[in-house]
């Protein structure tokens, strides 16, 4: 049974997609053991509680400094001994110690086809604003392992989504979530839970 801890910051629609997929069997062999948010008021925490999943928050302003925040975040994860840490709309830069301790055991969902429209400062709605500004016709989402960089780890799954004339950033974000994020994140977790993913020379192989 794959034990997963899910890190959230906001609405939790990606978390909800994981919860629903575990419950209907699209994700097998998996248990969500804890949901952790950096925002005490995140709607994602309500979603977790509604599903009977332990949900806690680690809030930066309740910590004396970044060092204390990082160690509390690390402790909140270590306490439940997850096999996999899932960043589902988590908008905090991970402490290097966490990335090193959970090498190739942290995955993230990013709302573009990496390496396009990613990197420092390019997250959430901003991604879709940049997509529209550049005028690309195809965008999408990517699930990747987290490494020491920003959106730079080995890519696990991607799914393309068309950009339509007249799209607003909000409309495009919603389509990318519905048609890509909420599908490939659960799919990636199921593949990992069933031992079908390996990383060779920083490239992902799926069996
Ligand atoms: C989504 O755009 C997702 O791509 C990004 O965070 C945003 C909010 O996700 N990673 P959620 O509704 O909190 O899952």
Give the containing element (helix H, strand E) for 3: strand 2-8
- Residue 52's pLDDT is 98
- Residue 121's pLDDT is 93
- Residue 48's pLDDT is 98
Q: How far apart are CA 108 and CA 66, in angstroms?
A: 22
- Substitution site in 124, 146, 178, 185 for ligand 1 pocket (most atoms within 8 Å of beta carbon): 124
- Residue 78's pLDDT is 98
Closest Cα to residue 177, out of 52, 28, 46, 14?
14
Q: In this prediction, what percent of the chain has a pLDDT beyond 90?
A: 100
Confidence tier at 110 by pLDDT (50, 70, 90)? very high
- Residue 60's pLDDT is 97
- Residue 63's pLDDT is 97
Atom of ligand 1 nearest to the CA of 124: 2
The answer to whether 110 is a known catalytic residue is yes
Q: Do 145 and 199 meet the contact criterion of CB atoms below 8 Å apart?
A: yes
Other Cβ atoms closer than 10 A to 47: 20
Q: How far apart are CA 89 and CA 86, in angstroms?
A: 9
Atom of ligand 1 nearest to the CA of 87: 10
Instruction: From residue 160, give the alpha-carbon distance in Å to each of 155, 180, 194, 199.
Output: 14, 7, 25, 23
Give the containing element (helix H, strand E) for 199: strand 197-200
Atom of ligand 1 nearest to the CA of 16: 14
The finding on whether 88 has its CB within 6 A of some atom of ligand 1 is yes
Q: Is the bond preceding residue 101 a cis peptide, omega within 30 degrees?
A: no
Confidence tier at 149 by pLDDT (50, 70, 90)? very high
- Residue 3's pLDDT is 98
What's the mean per-residue pLDDT of the chain?
97
- Give nearest CA residue, ligand 1 atom 9: 89
- Residue 51's pLDDT is 98
CA 199 / ligand 1 centre spacing (Å): 25
Q: Quick one: average pLDDT of 95-120?
A: 97
DSSP structure class, residue 154: P
What is 42-105 written as a DSSP string?
-HHHHHHHHTT--EEE--GGGSSSHHHHHHHHHHHHHTT--SEEEESS--SPPPHHHHHHTTT-
- Residue 20's pLDDT is 98
Q: For 3-42, what is each residue's pLDDT tens digit? A: 999 999 999 999 999 999 999 999 999 999 999 999 999 9
Q: In this prediction, what percent of the chain has a pLDDT beyond 70?
A: 100
Q: Quick one: average pLDDT of 72-81?
A: 98
Residue 186, classed as helix, strand or coil, is helix
The finding on whether 14 has its CB within 6 A of some atom of ligand 1 is yes
Q: How far apart are CA 181 and CA 157, in angstroms?
A: 10
Burial status of residue 124 (CB atoms within 10 A of its CB: 0-12, 13-18, 19 or more): middle
């Amino acid at each position: 049974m794959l034990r997963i801890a899910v890190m959230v910051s906001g609405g939790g629609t990606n978390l909800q997609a994981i919860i629903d997929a575990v419950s209907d069997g699209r994700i097998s062999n998996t248990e969500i053991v804890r949901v952790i948010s950096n925002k005490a008021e995140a709607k994602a925490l309500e979603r977790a509680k509604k599903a009977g999943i332990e949900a806690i928050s680690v809030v930066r302003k309740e910590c004396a400094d970044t060092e204390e925040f990082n160690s509390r975040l690390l402790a909140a994860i270590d306490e439940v001994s997850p096999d996999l840490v899932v960043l589902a709309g988590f908008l905090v830069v991970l402490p290097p110690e966490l990335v090193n301790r959970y090498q190739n055991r942290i995955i993230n969902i990013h709302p573009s086809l990496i390496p396009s429209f990613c990197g420092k400062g390019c997250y959430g709605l901003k991604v879709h604003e940049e997509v529209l500004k550049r005028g690309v016709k195809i965008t999408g989402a990517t699930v990747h392992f987290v490494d020491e960089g920003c959106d730079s780890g080995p890519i696990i799954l991607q799914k393309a989504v068309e950009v339509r004339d007249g799209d607003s950033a909000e409309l495009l974000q919603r389509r990318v979530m519905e048609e890509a994020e909420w599908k490939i994140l659960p799919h990636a977790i199921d593949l990992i839970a069933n031992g079908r993913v390996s990383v060779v020379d920083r490239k992902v192989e799926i069996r």
